Every structure is written in C-alpha cells, then in structure tokens.
Amino acid sequence: MLRALRSEVEPAIEETLADLGFPTDDLGIERPPADVDAVLATSVAYRLAGEAGAPPSAVAADIADTLGEHDLTYVGSVEAEGAYVNILPGERYYADTLAAAQEEGYGRLPDRGTDLVLEHTSANPTGPVHVGRARNPIIGDALRRLLDFAGYDVETHYYVNDAGRQIAVFTWAYETFEEDALPEPERDSPEYEMVRYYRKGNEYLEEADPEAVEAAEAEVQAILQGLEAGDEGTYERVGGVVDTVLGGMQDTLDRLPAPFDEFVRETRFMRDSSTDDVVARLKDTDYAVKEEGAWQLAFEDIEKNLVFLRGDGTSLYTTRDLAHHEWKLDTFDEAVTVLGEDHKLQARQLEATLDLLGHDTDRLRTVHYSWVTLPDGGMSTREGTGIDLDDLLDEAVDRARAEVERRVGDRVRNDQLTEADIERIARQVGVGAVRYDIVAKQPTKGITFEWERALDFEAQSAPYIQYVHARACGILAEAGEAGAGADPDRLVEPTERALLETIARLPTVVEESAAALEPHAVATYTRDLAEAFNAFYRECPVLDADPERRAARLALVRAARTATANALFVLGVEAPTSM
C-alpha cells in the first residue's frame, strides 16, 4: 500500500513545488526514521531554502500547506516538522493494507512482460558442491524468487562447463584409473564417487614422472581436440562423466532447493558453430589484433587484452561464453548472472566485447559475491579442502532436530508434535537458517565460515522469522480461521498501526530489492516485520479480546502471516505452520 500512497503523493508534491514556483527535478522523498509517525517524507525544503530566500522550516510549512490541500486517498495529514514535510497515512491506508495483505499473493507485483534469464551457480561439474560456492545457488535462487515476485518471467540456467581442460582431465582420469586404487567415497552419491578420479588424475599429473605425465597430457589433449573437431565419440565420453557428476550435484542443490529450468552446455555453442561465427565477427572489429599468432581484442579502457582465438586456431572458454551470451541476448529481454568476485575482470571484458558487437549491454547485469572461506583458508574441490554443502545441511538439520526435541518437553502449547512434524520442522529450520544466514548479507562482503555462527538459531536468523509465522498460524488455528467482516477502524493501538505500516511496505521492498538485485534487503525487512509482529503480540491479546477487536486482530494476524510467508518465500526460506 506504500506503493499506492507513494504513487499518488509524488505527482502531488511535484505539482505543489511547481505551484510554488520551485524546480521539480528532485522531490527529496525518503522514508522517515522509526520514531516519526509519518510513512513518507520529503526533505526538499533544505534545497529550496536558498532559492526561496527563506529558512527551510518556512519552506516546509508552505509545501505542507499547499500539499495538504490536495485530495489524496491514502494520506491522512501532511505536517511540517522542521525542514521536513511528513506524510501521515489516513484510515483508508490501514484499511486497504489490511484487506490487500490477506490475499494470498500479497506483495507480488504485476507482470512486466519481460523475459529474463537468470544464470547462477554454473559450478564446474568436477565434484561435490562445497560451502565456498554455496553463496551462488542461495543468492541465485533468492534472485529467481525475487524477480519472479517482482513481475519478471524468469528462466533459470546453469551453464555447464563441459568443454574445458578440467573436464578433459576428469574424463581421462575416469577412463584410466581403477576404482580399487582410490579411497572410499565420502558419501554414497555419484559426485562423491567420481571426484576421487578427478583428484587422483590431478595428483598424477603433478607427481608422476615426466614421461608418464607427457603421455597423459597427450590423452587429455586428444580429448580436447576431439571436442573442438566435433567428434561424436568424444562428446559421448565426456558427456557421460559430466552427466553423472552433475546429477549428484543437482541432488545437493535440490536440498536448498535451487531448481533450474535448463542446463546449458558449453559444447552446444561449439557444435552449432556460433562460436566460429563470433570469432569471424570479432576479427573484423577495429580492436582486433593478432599477436604471437593469437587473435585478441585490445580494449581502450581495459588493461588486459582478451584472447579469443588461440595460436593453434582453437577457441577458449571466453569465446564460447561470448556466443552463449549473444544467444541469451537474442532469446531474452534481460539477462542476470550471479558470479564470484574472481570473475569481475572477465565480466567487464565480456560486456565490453558484446558492446563492441553491437549488443545493448544495459540488458545484461551481474551480481558478484565474495568467497566463503574457512578460518585457515579457501576451499577447493581439486584439493579436497572445504566443507561440503551436504555436510553443512545435515549438521544444520541435526542441530535443529535436537533443538525441537529439547523444546518438546517444556512445551506450553497443547498440541502433539508427531515424529513427522519434528522432522519437518528440523528440516525447515535447519535449511532455512543456512539460507538466511547467507542471503541476509550483502554479497560483496566476504564470509568466514564458522559452524557456530552459521547454525545460530537465535534472533536475526531464520527461526526468529519462522517463529512469527508459526505463532500467527497457531492463533488462527485456535480461532478456527474465522473473523470475516473485520472492521479496520478497531485497530487503533500503536503496535497495531505499526504492524500494518510494516506490512504495507512489502510491495515496495520487493520492487526496490528486485530493481537493485539485492535480496538481502528483503531479509532486513523480514526482521522489521517480525519485530513489529512480536510487539503487537506482546501488547494485544487476540483470542481473548472483545468480539469486534478480536475479529479485527484476527484479520491483522492473517495479514501478518501472509506478509511473513511471502517475504520468506522470496528468500527461499520455508514458513513452518508450527514450531
């Protein structure tokens, strides 16, 4: 409802400023601090004071007077406070918020008619998903939900690296080494079984005697050449390894969950000759140079050249990625990619090159995140260092289960949790806590992984928000979900008003977070919402209130439940009906 209020207030302020003879290029609209009763404000008077030749407070008073004469649906009053003009909501604002938020899809924005492709994770299919990479699917999946909620038609892609040297090494190793020479797999799952060959192969290439390494390298090269030449047999050999590992990785990602609409293979752009096509066009550009036999682009404002064709005439990962992105831009209206911070330079070069090829690169946006590291260093699939995402999720669920069981004994609420309930809650809380911990932070900040911190179930974590949802569900279950015909005018307590005002912000939060590609802002919002609900919960009994109030408060609880559920949905955190 804040969106509706804002969209009627903005033109009114603009008109007001014009009437008073002021410029209207900056309306100075902002959200007032918590201790101010307004839901919207403008500080424009500061900037106009000089022009008006009057103190800011006098200008603010003028603006408030003129603005107050407008007939605005959702505005109760306009008040000048110092240099600020504060917009206070009217009864209609609360009433419409209460009604809107009880609808199932509250917070969802209208369809924009924009096809957007979201690429995330895209980890090389070499082994188990580890925590160092886990930020990618968690941020990625939150973006999928957020953009979908904000009205985009989102298609999610995992770009599969099935053409690189690592995969060639993997295929060679898988075909070369016997299983009995390998350690026991850490888990009974394909990617854990397969990664042993990958590690063994890399170890061999580093430690075997030079002649043996040379022979092995020749086999690896043969695989790479086979792919480049479009040899079907080679595709099949490599594809078998890739599919097996990817299948296992997908099972892990499903636990988050992080679903994909399509797994786009890199070899696709070699086979359909679009990579050759890109190369041909790049050679024709003014920035193309041939140095030491290799074709490259020499950018004006990027230090490093981009090699797009090797001296031996074969393409590089980057070249194929260019073909990949041309396809994205041809097929979709917008493209968003979630990448690690190590890809920043490449992302810049990619964009510059696409720009060079005549594409509108404003349609392409990238979200970069910093690594999750261990206290004593990074994580690596090849070296087998790091925490597997499966282990983290298992541990999280185990700890959550222990917590649920500990609470069953001194449970105040008179309900019976079955074994299935306990398992459900443990999974929702455990996985939710991991997701929330990661999605609530700005992606650009580095995270050092520590078990205790990642699995803290106290306030400012997923369970804190989930608990609010469970409480709301509990009240509604007790009340039998009745309460139609609620009179919003009965909601006059400060905590009731504050809760409604917070609920009213959800669509704005969705809109702004989606525009900025910042799901963490939704997480910040969920905390405000949970705090507002808890304050209301403390001050306002629902079930024992007199009939009129009870009906109104039940409606408010229902609205809060929907807002909480939907905000959690956007984050990809499940909303338990009981805890």
- CA atoms of 572 and 176, how far apart (whole Å): 42
Q: Where are the beta strands (DSSP E) in 204-318?
A: 262-265, 288-291, 294-297, 306-309
* DSSP code of residue 185: P
**% helix, strand, coil for the chain, step of 5:** 55, 10, 30
* Choices 42-50, 67-75, 98-106, 384-392 (CB under 7 A): range interacting with RNA: 42-50
When asked if residue 518 is in the footprint of RNA (CB under 7 A), the reply is yes
Query: What is the chain's alpha carbon radius of gyration, rounded to the nearest angstrom?
Result: 29
Asked if residue 303 binds RNA (CB under 7 A), the reply is yes
Range in contact with RNA (rule: CB under 7 A) among 100-108, 149-157, 302-310, 483-491: 302-310
Choose the binding region for RNA from 143-151, 205-213, 542-550, 559-567 (rule: CB under 7 A): 542-550
Tokens 């406070």 correspond to 81
Mark 39-68 as b/e (b = at least 16 C-beta within 10 Å). bbbbbbbbbbbeebeeebbebbbbbbebbb
Measured between alpha carbons, how far is 397 from 424 in angstroms, rounded to an integer?
10
Task: Identify which of residues 46 and 287 has a Cβ nearer to RNA in the complex.
Answer: 46
Position among 387, 440, 500, 563 found at the interface with RNA (CB under 7 A)? 440
Is residue 269 a contact point for RNA (CB under 7 A)?
no
Of 189, 244, 385, 524, the one binding RNA by CB under 7 A? 524
* Spatial distance between the Cα atoms of 509 and 523, rounded to a whole number of angstroms: 10
Q: Which stretch binds RNA (CB under 7 A): 6-14, 239-247, 353-361, 532-540?
A: 532-540
| CB 151 to RNA: min, Å | 18
Beta carbon nearer to RNA, 204 or 371:
371
Subset of residues 12 to 31 that bind RNA, contact rule: CB under 7 A: 28, 30
Q: Taking CB under 7 A as the criterion, which residues in 147-206 touch RNA?
A: 161, 163-166
Q: How far is the CB of 63 from RNA (least distance, A)?
A: 13
Distance of closest approach, residue 188 Cβ to RNA, in angstroms? 27
**43 is a site residue for RNA (CB under 7 A):** yes
DSSP code string of 28-49: -EEPPPTTSS-SEEE-HHHHHH
Please name which of 484, 474, 489 lies closest in space to residue 542, comparing C-alpha atoms. 474
Smaller CB separation from RNA, 80 or 118: 80
Among positions 16, 467, 491, 560, the unique one binding RNA when judged by CB under 7 A: 467
DSSP conformational letter for 127: S
Listing DSSP states for 60-111 in one string gives HHHHHHHHHTS--SSEEEEEEETTEEEEEE-HHHHHHHHHHHTSTTTTPPPP
| Element at 478 (helix H, strand E) | helix 462-478
Residue nearer to RNA on the CB measure, 358 or 377? 377
To RNA, the closest distance from the beta carbon of 357 in angstroms equals 19
Question: Please, are residues 135 and 123 in contact by the beta-carbon 8 Å criterion?
Answer: no
Q: How many residues bind RNA (CB under 7 A)?
A: 102
372 CB-side CA count, 13 A: 28
CB of 123 to RNA, least distance (A): 9
Nearest by Cα to 245 from 328, 161, 128: 128
180 or 445: CB nearest RNA? 445
Applying the rule CB under 7 A, the residues between 205 and 264 that interact with RNA are none
Which of 9, 32, 152, 172 is in the footprint of RNA by CB under 7 A? 32
CB atoms within 10 A of CB 310: 14
Q: Does 464 bind RNA (CB under 7 A)?
A: yes
Among 407, 481, 492, 548, contact with RNA (rule: CB under 7 A): 407
Sites for RNA among residues 338-397 (CB under 7 A): 341-346, 370-371, 373, 378
Q: Which residues between 411 and 430 bind RNA (CB under 7 A)?
A: 411-413, 425, 429
With respect to RNA, which residue has the nearer C-beta, 30 or 481?
30
- For residue 31, the minimal CB distance to RNA (Å) is 8
Q: Does 529 bind RNA (CB under 7 A)?
A: no
Stretch that binds RNA, among 191-199, 468-476, 483-491, 503-511 (CB under 7 A): 468-476
Which of the ranges 128-136, 198-206, 269-277, 454-462 carries the binding residues for RNA, by CB under 7 A? 454-462
| CB contact at 8 A, 549 and 500 | no
Residue 103 makes contact with RNA by CB under 7 A = no
- Cβ pair 460, 527 in contact under 8 A: yes
Q: How far is the CB of 179 from RNA (least distance, A)?
A: 26
Beta partners for residue 119, in sequence order: 157, 337
Q: Footprint of RNA on residues 57-86 (CB under 7 A)?
A: 81-84, 86
